[in-house]
């Protein structure tokens, strides 16, 4: 009900009171209404906002959060302009709109209400990978199955730590490359990686990784004119393997 018209002098949407002191005419006007339903978001908040992005206040306000007990509904007049914005909870990422907003590419969804309407959204759990920067060692991804797809490039010149956020179940493969005159000696952290090869793991929790290194120097033996110089161990036997020199 939107109001009174006629010769009674009534207006507004309250009751219409008058005295019959002449012929009178009265009528009432109405507008069609529809229900907007926001399916309770599992891991975020969906809010009706204005064109500036600020939450609508007053009678037209509508917000539905993961902490609510169930779906959220509001009745609006036909043709009401609706703009919704989704914000994920901490450690979650907004993935996609559903129902009436399916296909919207951003975190907002706008439409004119022309019938009972339902809107929903889905979210993805995310975890943080923290790489503690080690001087003289750069850490990068050799392959990545990730969303977002940004790769890792934590260079030796970086300061402090490098952090990256990935969806749950993202598979990562890390490599460590030492600067000149340094040698990579192994992985440490919570990824389960060890040794000096690549570091492969799945993001099923927040993870931390770092690389260790050792300074290297070059030993040069000037060619002896009439003899042999050999590296030996403490028993006098020639050193074999990667450390051999003769």
Per-residue pLDDT at 161: 82
- Going from the C-alpha of 66 to that of each of 94, 98, 108, 193, 210, the distances in angstroms are 13, 16, 18, 36, 36
Confidence (pLDDT) at 158: 57
Average pLDDT for runs of 10 along the chain of length 246: 89 92 91 96 97 95 95 96 97 97 96 97 95 74 53 67 89 86 90 92 94 88 90 91 87
Dihedral angle sign, alpha carbons of residues 188, 192, 196, 197: negative
**pLDDT of res. 84:** 98
In this prediction the pTM is 0.76
The pLDDT score that the predictor gives to residue 180 is: 85
pLDDT of residue 109: 98
| First-to-final CA distance of the chain | 101
**What pLDDT does 159 receive?**
60
The reported pLDDT for the residue numbered 169 is: 92
Contact 113, 76 (CB under 8 A): yes
Q: Which of 128, 122, 201, 207 is nearest to 167 (CA)?
A: 128
- What is the structure's pLDDT at 213? 84
């Amino acid at each position: 009900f939107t109001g009174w018209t006629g010769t009674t002098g009534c207006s507004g949407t309250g009751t219409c009171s008058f005295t019959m002191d002449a012929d009178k005419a009265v009528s009432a006007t109405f507008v069609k209404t529809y229900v907007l339903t926001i399916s309770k978001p599992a891991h975020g908040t969906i809010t009706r906002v204005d064109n500036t992005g600020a939450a609508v206040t007053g009678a037209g306000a509508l917000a539905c959060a993961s902490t609510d007990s169930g779906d959220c509904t509001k009745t609006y007049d036909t043709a009401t302009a609706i703009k919704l914005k989704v914000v994920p909870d901490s450690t979650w990422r907004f993935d996609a709109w559903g129902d009436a907003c399916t296909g919207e590419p951003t975190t907002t969804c706008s439409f004119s209400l022309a019938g009972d309407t339902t809107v929903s959204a889905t979210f993805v759990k995310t975890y943080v990978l923290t790489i503690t920067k080690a001087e003289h060692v750069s850490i990068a991804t050799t392959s990545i199955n990730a969303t977002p797809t940004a790769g890792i490039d934590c260079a030796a010149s970086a300061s402090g730590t490098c952090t990256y956020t990935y969806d749950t179940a993202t598979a990562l493969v890390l490599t460590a490359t030492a600067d000149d005159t340094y040698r990579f000696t192994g992985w440490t952290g919570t990824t389960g990686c060890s040794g000096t090869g690549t570091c492969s793991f799945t993001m099923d929790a927040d993870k931390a990784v770092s690389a260790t290194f050792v300074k290297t120097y070059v030993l040069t033996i000037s060619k002896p004119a009439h003899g042999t110089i050999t590296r030996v161990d403490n028993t006098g036997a020639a050193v074999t393997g990667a450390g051999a020199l003769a």
